[in-house]
Structure 1
Amino acid sequence: MDSKLVLITGVTGHIGFRVLQYALEYGFAVRAVVRSQAKADTVRSNSALRAVHQNNQLEIVLVPDFTVPHAFDAVVQGVDYIIHCASPIPFAAPTSDDPENDFIRPAVNATLGIFQSAARAPSVKPIVITSSCIAVAPVAAALVDTGNTYTADTRQPEMDGQWPPGTQSFVTYAAGKVAALNRTEAWMRDKIPHFDAIHVMPAYVLGHVGMADDLQGRQQSPSRLVLNVVRGREKGNEDPPGLAMVVSHVDDCARIHLEALGPNIDGNQSFIICYDCGARPEWDEAKAIVEQNFPTAVNAGTLPCKGSLESVVCRLDSSKTEKTFGFRHTYKDAVVSLVEQYLDLHKKQQGKRKD
């Protein structure tokens, strides 16, 4: 890569933090956008980041509200690339009483706002947006096998905006992703700006959560699905009886976001990130992986491997992504990575209780 300046949003999130790490490792100068000084302090104090950047390589800027008009006008000036990872996270809140303000408006207005600001910044070249496979597959495909195959070029109609109180946040998260994808593509066709846009569409992203410093932090990501299986946790009321087995490793997600900026990647296209969808993997394969790689934790009862999550077939076609970028990880790699971190955090928590 090179030392050009890349602006990254969502750097305190699962994918965004790993994108930030990779960008610094690749030698980019980074302008990271956060919403508060507290988040800025959290990023700067992270030991993993201090090991991979010089002080003048990382600039952190505050944009308190991503959704207001012209919020990004100043911060995009002089930027060569933009990676927009910021997004409301449904795992942090099972239901929403105000879906429009919690998920849909932030997803649409923040993304369009970045595009509108970038149009006023001649230096900006590609923009990479973290979308989701739920932007191209219907919500039903997360829960049942629809029999249809969805590619990165599939498009879904925007959802009805009549949301009753207590709506499942996953549904409105999906609605926000669909709306953001459809409206930004329409904006690109209408305005024909000087930059291209690439949408990256991960499935459930597993692996080490860079900003998690306690076990609670591990629960705010899809990794909890696997942890519930290997810890033997009983299903809660918010848990579905089965869920689409569509996963990716956070390292592949981050790498593809950055490699999509390369001059050999054509703009204005989309890429699904999902492993082995045609092979119909199972969530419960995590138990055998853990038993093989962490026998001490299994024998001690820390990871009894007695939970279960039924795997629903979801037919995502990620062949274009694999051909363009390749995948370097598997479901096994993702499980090992997230369990290693879980055990480390569990040990630290147990040590604190003894103090």
Structure 2
Amino acid sequence: MAGELVLLTGGSGHVGYRTLIEALSKGYKVRAAVRSESKIAEIKAAKPTQPYLEQLTFTIVPNIENDGAFDEAVQGVDYIVHVASPLARPSDNDEANIIQPAIRGTLSILYSALKQPSVKRVVITSSIVAVNPDSPTGPFTADNVEPDPHGPYPHVFAAYAASKKLAYNRTREFIAKEKPQFTVVNIMPSFVLGPNELATTTDAVLSGSNGAALGVLFGVKNPNGMPAVTVHVDDVAFLHIAALEPKVQGNRNFGANSDVNGIKWDEAIDIVKKHFPTEVGKGVFPLGGSQVSLPFPFDASESEKFFGFKFKDFETQIVDIAGYYAKVAAGKAEL
């Protein structure tokens, strides 16, 4: 409930920062766990943070993989929202740089929570790839369970997907073995699109999933394609904080995906032509790209039914991120 204390990790990331603001706007007090003083300064200086500075404190956790890394951070908290996890970035050692950090970071915060009687619930940012079958023949949901994958992995995204499956499976084992006093909720989003309000350069705006979505606006051609599943960052943040509500039965999952039938990546071009004709004319969005849309039938409608809301559609996602990009490119974003 509002006024209670939430420990939040990953608050300087795309999903994490939006979730931080969501928690503060709902009246929670937040203790943000960050890796360095520079991250504290970045979050405190951002315009969306300004109305909530009195509700916000920080704790530095330099390495989330260490046993007991969060022992001090969890003191006196009511809830934990664990967003921090490695992204799918090129690496010379996927096991050491992507897979193990995802597993150890999750287990570290769970075992620290186990030592703190005040913790009522832990919400974890998982992913659609934690539960997707290798070759889905029909719609699957956030309640699907897959066996542990095994390397070597052919590319970095396969290693990222493995990290999410393994972290989720270890979480399930933790619950079964330790029977904690708190409950666990996993949020499983598809590709997350929307403004990252900590991004102050066009390159930063186009990092992660946003870059994959907007590539077609900048002439990028991807004949291999991308899974055609997206969700607005606002909806992902909403689910993280709504999952703290007492009405939510614990030890369950919520998917986050806007369209089980899939979006069409190339439609971003027509959306931008419609909403940003001036920017297209000026070459801010040169267009000319293409990206194959791969079927990925993830059904997250149960989340809509449970919380009584509707996921923002692909057009809204593109309008919001393209609009933010245009403002940053023009130096007009309120940063």
State the TM-score, normalizing by the size of structure 2: 0.95
* Equivalent residue number for residue 246 of structure 2: 263
Q: How does 1:1-355 map to 2 (within 5 A)?
A: 1-50=1-50, 52-55=51-54, 57-90=55-88, 93=89, 95-138=90-133, 140=134, 146-162=136-152, 168-233=155-220, 235=221, 241-278=224-261, 280-325=262-307, 326-348=309-331
Note if contact 1:76-1:118 (Cα within 8 Å) is conserved in structure 2.
Answer: yes
Aligned residues: 331
Is residue 104–residue 173 contact of structure 1 (8 Å, CA) maintained in 2?
yes
Aligned AA (2:213): V
1:126-167, CA deviations, whole angstroms, 9 ceiling, x for partnerless residues? Answer: 1100000000114x56xxxx423221111122121445xxx5
Q: What is the deviation of 1:343?
A: 0.6
| Partner AA of 1:8 in structure 2 | L
Q: Secondary structure at the match of 1:59?
A: strand
What is the letter of the counterpart of residue 10 of structure 1?
A: G
Contact 1:29 1:58 in 2 (8 A): yes
Q: Which runs of 5+ in 1 are unaligned?
A: 350-355
Shift of 1:327: 2.3
- CA distance in 2: counterparts of 1:120 and 1:240, whole angstroms: 50
SS in structure 2 of the partner of residue 190 of structure 1 = helix
Task: Judge conservation of contact 2:44–2:53 (CA < 8 Å) in 1.
Answer: no
SS in 2 for 1:75: coil
Is the CA contact (8 Å cut-off) linking 1:128 and 1:257 kept in structure 2? yes
Work out whether residues 96 and 168 of structure 1, in 8 Å CA contact, stay in contact via their aligned partners in 2: no
Structure 1 residue runs of 4 or more that deviate by more than 6 Å after TM superposition: none
CA distance, structure 2, for counterparts of residue 277 and residue 211 of structure 1: 30
Unaligned runs of 5+ in 2: none
- The residue type paired with residue 184 of structure 1 is T
Matched AA of 2:298: L
Relative to structure 2, which stretch is displaced further, 281-290 or 197-206? Answer: 281-290
Secondary structure of the 1:78 match is: coil
How far 1:88 sits from its partner (Å)? 0.8
Structure 1 stretch displaced more, 328-337 or 181-190:
328-337
Aligned partners of 1:152, 1:298: CA distance in 2, in Å?
38
| CA contact 2:195–2:233 (8 Å) conserved in 1 | yes
- Measured after TM superposition, the shift of residue 328 of structure 1 is 4.4
Deviation at 1:185, TM superposition (A): 0.6
| TM-score normalised per structure 1 | 0.90
Contact 1:19 1:255 in 2 (8 A): yes
Secondary structure in structure 1 of the residue aligned to 2:290:
coil
